[in-house]
Amino acid sequence: MKNLTPTGRVILGMLSLGRNTGYEIKQFVDKTTRHFMAASYGQLYPELKRLEQAGLLRGTDAPTGGRSRTVYDLTDAGREALISWLEDDSELLYELRDEGMLKLFFSDSRPERRLAIVRAMRERNERKLAELKALEPHAAQGPSGPRLTLELGIGMAEWLIQWCEATERRLAGEQEG
């Protein structure tokens, strides 16, 4: 399937790690890939249905304690679609959504707020770094892909913190001078 959505890619990847319900996929996304590729419930469930209709996954009713629940497995076609996407270098889209950077970009309208914006960006990245480092013990025990991705995320957060610290010093010096 050529037209996998980003959410579809997340779902197929999660299912390649094992059978899951939509709820379990969402919980795992919130602990892992949300740091670089999120998926909301509003995206996840319609995409599960679409992928099932396309024959890329199979849902099986597996109620527990009187609650309805569907467990999803990758089909052979779903595994082939995931592998095809992994092998296709033309779809390496990088999109950064960072409201702090957006505020910084438009800060010429309020230059006196620039230092506060950069400070808030640093503080957010310090919190992010702490979240990512808390995942290291779990990632060390798991597959290589998530561990390497975590290492990249930690490195990016550390660099962003260093950039913010240097920029804070520069902006503070400009305000004093």
142-172 residue pLDDT tens = 889 889 999 999 999 999 999 999 999 999 9
Query: What mean pLDDT comes out for the span 67-71?
Result: 91
**CA-CA distance, 145 to 169, in Å (whole number)?**
37
Q: Which residue has the tokens 């962003």?
A: 160
CA distance 104 to 112: 11
- Please give the angle made by the CA atoms of 150, 168 and 173, to the nearest 5 degrees: 160
Q: What pLDDT score does 3 carry?
A: 80
67, amino acid identity: R
Residue 92: pLDDT over 90 = no
Q: 20-21 and 57-61 as β-strands: parallel, antiparallel, unpaired?
A: unpaired
Residue ranges per structural domain of the chain = 6-91, 99-176
Q: What does the chain look like in DSSP terms, one character per residue?
A: -----HHHHHHHHHHHT--EEHHHHHHHHHHTGGGTS---HHHHHHHHHHHHHTTSEEEEE--BTTB--EEEEE-HHHHHHHHHHHH-GGG-------HHHHHHHTGGGSGGGHHHHHHHHHHHHHHHHHHHHHHHHHHHTS-HHHHHHHHHHHHHHHHHHHHHHHHHHHHHHHHH-
Determine the pLDDT at residue 52: 96
Q: What is the pLDDT of residue 90?
A: 80
Q: Which of residues 3 and 27 earns the better pLDDT score?
A: 27
C-beta separation of 79 from 16 below 8 A = yes
**Architecture, CATH, for domain 6-91:** Orthogonal Bundle (1.10)
Confidence of residue 132 (pLDDT cuts 50, 70, 90): very high
Whole-number pLDDT of residue 53: 96
The overall average pLDDT reported for the chain is 91
Q: Please name the residues in contact with 157: beta carbons below 8 A apart, sequence gap of 6 or more.
A: 125, 128, 129, 132
Say whether pLDDT at 1 is over 60. Answer: no
104-120 per-position pLDDT tens digit:
999 998 999 999 999 99
Give me the pLDDT at residue 2, please: 59
Higher pLDDT, 89 or 123: 123
156-167: string of b/e by CB count within 10 Å (b at 16+)? Answer: bbeebbeebeeb
pLDDT score, position 177: 64
Q: Any idea which of 11-20, 57-66, 88-97 has the lowest mean pLDDT?
A: 88-97
